[in-house]
Amino acid sequence: MADFLVSIDTTDVFALPPATRSDVVDRERAAGRALIEAGTLKGLWRVPGEKGNVGIWSAADADELHDVLQALPIFPHARFHVRPLATHPLASGVDDFFNKP
């Protein structure tokens, strides 16, 4: 499995008609809970002052992550920025990271 930092800008959701927005948000919450339970969505944070969030997502590869994101109810109304993550030497238990040439 690979981890990805995913930023989601949900600004456009607020421009939807109220009934449509409510439906999309309700379905998105249900989808998010299911993804958390499945271990696909490992962490999620709001960004103060912004309409959106950032999360750590886990998938077999970028293609699988794309399929998961595209299946989200919010997908047509949001902008996504995805960055693959690699393990940092400090996180992998390398004690002398700063002493390497």
Q: What distance in Å separates the CA atoms of residue 4 and residue 19, rounded to the nearest whole number?
A: 32
The confidence score (pLDDT) of residue 99 equals: 58
- Asked whether the beta carbons of 8 and 52 are under 8 A apart, the reply is yes
The confidence score (pLDDT) of residue 65 equals: 98
Q: What is the CATH topology of the domain spanning 2-86?
A: Alpha-Beta Plaits (3.30.70)
- What's the predicted TM-score (pTM) here? 0.87
Residue 100 scores a pLDDT above 80:
no
More confident call, 89 vs 4: 4
Break the chain into its structural domains and give their ranges.
2-86
Alpha carbon 7 to chain centroid, angstroms:
6
The confidence score (pLDDT) of residue 15 equals: 95
Residue 97 scores a pLDDT above 80:
no
Residue from 73, 90, 75 nearest 6 by CA: 75
